[in-house]
Structure 1
Amino acid sequence: MTEVYSPDSALLDSKVRDIESDATTNDRIGPYIRRNDRQVRETPKSQLRTRRKWESEKRRIRARVRLDPQEVRAWQLERVRALVDGAFTAIPFYRELYAAVGFEPGDIVTWSDFEQLPVVNKRMIVDAGMSPPTAAGDARRTVHSARTSGSSGLNLTIYQDNASVDHRAVLNMRHCELALGSELRPQDWRYQVYFAAERITSLLGDYPYVTLAQECPTELLTEHLEQLRPRIVFAFPSYLQRLVERDVALDAFGVEAVITNSERSSPQEREKYTRVLRVPVVDEYSSEEFSLIAYECRQRRYHLVEDSAYLEVAQPDDSGFGHMVGTSLGNAFMPFIRYDQGDVVRLAPPGASCGCGSRFRTIDAFRGREDETLRDGPGRAVPSDAVLGLCDRTLVVQESNVLQYQLVQTAPDRVQLRLRLSDPARRGEDNALLDAFVRELPSLFLHERVHVDVVHVDAFETFASGKRRLIFAEGAWTRAAGTAPRTAPEAVR
């Protein structure tokens, strides 16, 4: 008789803790709590698997940030060897690409061997239709997916298996501990303001993780924080700015650290947030392709997350700036190998020490992720988290037929939505998601009466680095004839 595999049969009969309901402290906050409604739902089995991974690996991954850099490099090389050989064997895109340069499995012995492999980018992956072989047809394997445009505006679906999801989850927990300066406790709430809930909202009820919509009014959020008392908060810089304007002291609600993400903010802004909010505010540099790329320590240095991705700087110029080329170390299912996501960075000299104790390499300076905002009258900007949230709900959705987009404010009252469609033959069809974007974007402007023009283009504006500009205002403006700024009564939402 064949036994059915079960890591713990008693636990499989239990229910997943409903974190969203537990976090719904009143009827007013309820509509703003993001529910984990992903296609692949979390289960007691998946939570048990992730918890066991955390319990078995937490000492090792905590210690890794202080390892000798040569030990880290040796570990990365072993990981990269297995990743490249596996990609060549399983994924036609990489097999064709690498075979064209004479690669065979086993050829990577040193880093110089690895550096001979071609650099790839999102355009190549989208054009090739790269996906894991199991994504389309193997129903026996759990496949997770994430749709992203990143800062390029070029839409891509990224697939992950359970191992990749678990890897991200445990590194996220260490990431919280590095920001806090101490270990996470099972009862500690993690709290984020974001577009979507986390895949894993607890580990069998412990380490709860709740997500609030960025549209939540600040007075409701602060009331919720007082009731829930999370230890750590993730938020957009533009949302923190709203809290700063209300002079909110987060330490009064039990918060010990804040991590910013998704939008660029300056060290000066984060220092201001730290003073006003009365908790350390540090930044996170991440992407869907690589997950965590770098984290800012309390010494204001960006440390690469060396066990999440291996990062190179390709063809640096005389000042050391070059394109960041990365290899994801946690996703062997749909690997990104020597992948250029468009950011331009400069690394600090090797061997530089940091007062935080981490020995992971550091990014000295960025030229990517420039500020991207739409202007709402003189000296004002539309909150970028609100704009990106609208894009995420409409333009990034696969059914929108949008392959790539760009928002360009050409005048105080005019915004162009520049598009390339996934299927140009469907250009004349009704598109409810596109119509919703055109209808809703003007409502984000409080001081300008804005009209949105949809323009189909073949090329997009770029930064000097070559990275596409997703949201920006161009040139000197003149107001369109016959229009005027909104009056104060119309500016009230």
Structure 2
Amino acid sequence: MKNKIQTAYKKSPVFIQNLLISAYGFYWKSRRLGGVFKTHVNEFKRREKFTKDQWREYQTKELRKLLAHAFDTVPYYKKLYAEHGFGPEDFKKFEIEDLKKLPCLEKEELRKYGTTTLLSTKRKKGTFLSSSGSTGTPIKAFFTKEAHQIWSAAYEARIRNWAGVDHTMSRGMIGGRRILPDADAKPPYFRKNYAEKQVYFSAYHLSPETASNYLKGIKDSQLDYMVGYAMSNYLLAEFIEKKELQAPKLKAVLTSSEKLTQEMRSTMERVYNCKVYDAYSGVESCGLISENSHGELLFSPDTGIMEVVDDEGKDVAHGDAGEVISTGLLNFDQPLIRYRIGDRVKLSKNQETVSGLHMPKIDEIEGRTEDVVTAKDGRKMVRFHGLFVDIPKLVVAQLIQNTTEDYTINVVVEDGFSRLEEEEMKKRLCSQVGEVSVQFNQLKEIPRNKNGKFRAVISKVP
């Protein structure tokens, strides 16, 4: 059914594609913004006034509930914690500091067991969302409607509202959805989701020559703000500026998914005459870092418990950087406890905030860096995780651009992986960058760079 709809979409004229996207948008709007959404937006706002003691009390209470629930209803944790000598009585008096007594959950475990033993046996009907993110490891996160609404409420209260916008305003989105199936697609390079007052721009057709069409989409729909990939939004702003085009003033630009540099921020603020707000989370939704109007990056303690640790697993001091280990407090249907996300942050040395909020303050979100790939026709693009999602037997993958016409895909696979999977990945790549040659290397392990960070996309093209 899904493939039939995609085929019909690809063959349809633009106005029919807009209607199909709007129908899909209506479904997602009701799923995310219905039910308990408004109630939880108010709850997230109410908790912003918490003191440090109130936050600790809240997190401790939620953590104990989560651990007891996980032990009782999630087979993976019941077996794991029993093997480590923990039982239901231990979780009744569990403290946040005790988390380090529990083993970490690796991405590989989530990949292996995320659709089976990592799910609660008492879960309601839900949906799996797929991603490989910046780690190259394909994973599936499970959400019921209610869990999705709660997470959407966190996004509304702590990302949109902190930036002075909300979900009722018109917005432009540059993200990973393939709204234009072909690399050589003609303008317009955007489609309209009337149900959510959203214009969805292609992340895979950005170039100085196409910038004017993107700008037309922004102007004609009188967009209030832009959201999406940090690098893609920056590239669009850079091309608009280089072409000496005039962009309208926006209320905000909300970026995510990649590291936001000062140059990127300055360019977007100059072009759109508004502030840029950075944020960090992930499809797993087990923690949220967002920027407020004072430019402070704050971790929301009601979305999860964030540990920032050194190579030995010890908490780093304020002012130092470390690996993020997160315990999500919002999704009890697929609990992620001491989950190694694969990213790093630097804690602020001075934890006092100008805003007066008692939330952990972050100086920098490290990592999240992928190279920009340049197609043969000059288009610039990032975020190739769509190549790897839902590929059977794929453990981890890495894309390397050797030249504009030659690519290498390194893969770590399980038994049963075949040429059919390789052909599917090549087909997906060519649909984004055009016809190119692709060599596959099956490895036991994909090398990391000197600082130990995995790079999912590497480009050797200047």
TM-score tier, shorter chain, comes to 0.7 to 0.9
Equivalents in 2 of 1:291, 1:190: separation in Å?
A: 25
Partner of 2:333: 333
Partner of 1:360: 359
Structure 2 stretches lacking a partner, 5+ long: 1-12, 179-193
In the alignment, is the contact (CA less than 8 A) between 2:254 and 2:278 conserved in 1? Answer: yes
Equivalents in 2 of 1:146, 1:37: separation in Å?
A: 19
Equivalents in 1 of 2:421, 2:109: separation in Å?
A: 29
1:238 aligns with 2:227: no
Residues 151-196 of structure 1 deviation map (CA, whole Å, 9 limit, x = unaligned): 11111111111221111111122134434336x3x74234322224
1:455 aligns with 2:441: yes
Q: Which has the higher contact order (CA 8 A, sep 6+)?
A: 2
The equivalent position to 2:83 in structure 1, one of 79, 100, 120, is: 100
Structure 1 stretches lacking a partner, 5+ long: 1-26, 198-204, 445-449, 478-484, 486-493
Partner of 1:189: 170
SS in 1 for 2:90: coil
Residues 266-295 of structure 1 deviation map (CA, whole Å, 9 limit, x = unaligned): 023212210122121121112111265211
Report the RMSD for the aligned CA atoms in angstroms. Answer: 3.6
1:383 aligns with 2:373: no
CA spacing shift, 1:428–1:274, aligned 2, 3 Å: closer
In the alignment, is the contact (CA less than 8 A) between 1:284 and 1:292 conserved in 2? Answer: no
Q: Which amino acid aligns with 1:345?
A: V
1:134 Cα deviation from its structure 2 partner: 6.8
In the alignment, is the contact (CA less than 8 A) between 2:119 and 2:335 conserved in 1? Answer: no
CA spacing shift, 1:175–1:211, aligned 2, 3 Å: farther
CA spacing shift, 1:464–1:341, aligned 2, 3 Å: farther
SS in 1 for 2:88: coil
1:171 aligns with 2:154: yes
1:442 Cα deviation from its structure 2 partner: 5.1
Residues 126-167 of structure 1 deviation map (CA, whole Å, 9 limit, x = unaligned): 3445536878x99x9321111111111111111111221111
**Number of aligned residue pairs:** 420
Q: Which amino acid aligns with 1:419?
A: V
1:44-443 counterparts in 2 under 5 A?
46=31, 50-108=33-91, 109=93, 110-128=95-113, 131=116, 141-181=124-164, 184=166, 187-196=168-177, 208-209=197-198, 211-215=200-204, 217-240=210-233, 241-247=235-241, 250-252=247-249, 255-290=250-285, 293-314=288-309, 315-316=314-315, 320-349=320-349, 351-354=351-354, 356-374=355-373, 383-385=380-382, 388=384, 391-392=385-386, 394-398=387-391, 401-410=393-402, 414-422=406-414, 424-429=415-420, 432-437=423-428, 439-440=430-431, 443=434
CA spacing shift, 1:35–1:131, aligned 2, 3 Å: farther
Q: Which amino acid aligns with 2:446?
A: F
1:31 Cα deviation from its structure 2 partner: 4.5
Which stretch of structure 1 is more off in the superposition, 337-346 or 112-121? 112-121
SS in 2 for 1:287: coil
In the alignment, is the contact (CA less than 8 A) between 1:147 and 1:396 conserved in 2? Answer: yes
In the alignment, is the contact (CA less than 8 A) between 1:260 and 1:281 conserved in 2? Answer: yes
CA spacing shift, 1:190–1:343, aligned 2, 3 Å: same
SS in 2 for 1:107: helix
In the alignment, is the contact (CA less than 8 A) between 1:134 and 1:141 conserved in 2? Answer: no
Residues 297-323 of structure 1 deviation map (CA, whole Å, 9 limit, x = unaligned): 343332112222211112256773221
Equivalents in 2 of 1:383, 1:236: separation in Å?
A: 13
Equivalents in 2 of 1:417, 1:54: separation in Å?
A: 41
Which stretch of structure 1 is more off in the superposition, 367-376 or 101-110? 367-376
Aligned identity (percent) is 17
Equivalents in 2 of 1:471, 1:366: separation in Å?
A: 19
Equivalents in 2 of 1:300, 1:277: separation in Å?
A: 17
In the alignment, is the contact (CA less than 8 A) between 2:108 and 2:395 conserved in 1? Answer: no
1:125 Cα deviation from its structure 2 partner: 2.7
CA spacing shift, 1:430–1:215, aligned 2, 3 Å: closer
In the alignment, is the contact (CA less than 8 A) between 1:192 and 1:235 conserved in 2? Answer: yes
Q: Which amino acid aligns with 1:418?
A: N
Equivalents in 2 of 1:126, 1:40: separation in Å?
A: 30
Q: Which has the larger radius of gyration?
A: 1
Q: Which amino acid aligns with 1:92?
A: P
Equivalents in 2 of 1:209, 1:227: separation in Å?
A: 12
In the alignment, is the contact (CA less than 8 A) between 1:309 and 1:330 conserved in 2? Answer: yes
CA spacing shift, 1:454–1:187, aligned 2, 3 Å: closer
Equivalents in 2 of 1:413, 1:266: separation in Å?
A: 29
Q: TM-score, normalised by structure 1?
A: 0.74
Q: Which amino acid aligns with 1:330?
A: L
Residues 75-110 of structure 1 deviation map (CA, whole Å, 9 limit, x = unaligned): 111111111111111111111111111111242322
Q: Which amino acid aligns with 2:80?
A: L
Equivalents in 1 of 2:25, 2:395: separation in Å?
A: 22
In the alignment, is the contact (CA less than 8 A) between 1:62 and 1:174 conserved in 2? Answer: yes
Equivalents in 1 of 2:216, 2:439: separation in Å?
A: 40
Equivalents in 1 of 2:403, 2:316: separation in Å?
A: 36
CA spacing shift, 1:326–1:250, aligned 2, 3 Å: farther
